[in-house]
Amino acid sequence: MKLIRFGQVGEEKAGLVDDQEQIRDCSAHVEDYDRAFFDNAGLAKLAQLDINSLPVVADDVRIAPPVAQVGKFICVGLNYADHAAESGMDVPSEPVLFMKATSAVVGPNDTVLLPPNSEKSDWEVELGIIIGKEARYVDEADAMDYVAGFCVVNDLSERAYQLEQQGQWCKGKGCDTFGPIGPYLVTPDEVADYNNLSIWLELNGEKVQNGNTNTMVYQVPFLVHYISQFMSLQPGDVISTGTPPGVGLGMNPPRYLKEGDVMRLGIDGLGIQQQITKRYQK
């Protein structure tokens, strides 16, 4: 299934995407895609619906993040060896973890607001994992039992805040609108091979990132297992698994986002995002 949420901010509804890529409104059957939904076997209940009997939603509707009220937004740094190299850093001997503020979460096509003093804002297309049930100290062999689905994430970063100031990476990662998610939550049964998905990003029509999840240093099951050793994962939590090479930081000279730039990004079978940047005005 492809789960989708649609509607203006604060008025989002739950939907499904049918075989013709039409959005179907299932809000009469599901209140929202939140922790309560996953805790109460919501995915199994959705699977019983006749999707073709659900109302079709207008094409011009706003697409919201596919999960409501994300509890934790956990990111994995330097998880592609070639991205680590372009960043001038070593491949980590174990996953690098950091948190992204949940206030960064926006829809896949919402405007990205560059902070007022930002000069080095950067793009990062990533495979997102959405947790479906509580995971605590799970074995790697069982890790996929805890995954509700996958999504596209743009892990935007302000490099000066992240790398040139004191403290942790979260300052450069958690800016408002720096976490577009979606358009869908795609359940694992519809993902042919999450270890072999093309992943790409275009900036103003130029393809700057063009990779594949098969070059991730640490793959999906290991990441779920590993993170669960340090914190419990709750239904609706999002894990962003790292980015392939082609970010602005790694270019010579470095290239960063400016107002009016258009980012278009996607992953095989998980849909496409598109954002336009705008400078935040106080």
- Look at 270 and 160; give whichever has higher pLDDT: 270
Domain boundaries, the chain: 1-64, 68-279
What H or E segment, with its residue span, contains residue 149?
strand 147-154
Count the residues in the chain.
282
What is the pLDDT averaged over residues 4-10?
A: 97
What H or E segment, with its residue span, contains residue 83?
helix 81-86
Instruction: For the sheet with 112-114, list strands across it.
Output: 112-114, 271-279, 262-267, 198-203, 206-212
Please give the Cα distance from 19 to 2 (Å, whole number): 10
Residue 193: pLDDT band by 50, 70, 90 thresholds? very high
**What are the tens digits of pLDDT across the range 111-142?**
999 999 899 999 999 999 999 999 999 999 99
Q: Rounded mean pLDDT of the chain?
A: 95
Both tokens assigned to 121? 């804002």
Helix (H, G, I), strand (E, B) or coil at 115: coil
What value, to the nearest 5°, has the Cα angle with vertex 101 and ends 98 and 105? 120
- Look at 88 and 208; give whichever has higher pLDDT: 208
Cα distances from 12 to residues 5, 7, 121, 249, in angstroms, run 6, 4, 29, 35
Helices (H), 151-250: 159, 170-173, 220-228
pLDDT of amino acid 165: 81
**What are the tens digits of pLDDT across the range 32-81?**
999 999 999 999 999 999 999 999 999 999 999 999 999 999 999 989 88
Q: Looking at the domain 68-279, which fold is it?
A: Fumarylacetoacetate hydrolase; domain 2 (3.90.850)
Query: Quick one: three-class SS letters along 197-208?
Result: CEEEEEECCEEE
Assigned CATH for 1-64: 3.10.330
Is 233 a residue whose pLDDT tops 80? yes
Is 170 a residue whose pLDDT tops 90? no
Please give the Cα distance from 254 to 256 (Å, whole number): 7
DSSP, residue by residue, 34-52: SHHHHHTTHHHHHTTS-GG
Please give the Cα distance from 191 to 186 (Å, whole number): 7
- Look at 189 and 168; give whichever has higher pLDDT: 189
pLDDT of amino acid 56: 98
pLDDT of amino acid 187: 98
pLDDT of amino acid 82: 77
Q: Report yes or no: 232 and 135 within 8 Å, Cβ to Cβ.
A: yes
**What are the tens digits of pLDDT across the range 83-106?**
777 777 778 899 999 999 999 999
pLDDT of amino acid 208: 98
pLDDT of amino acid 92: 84
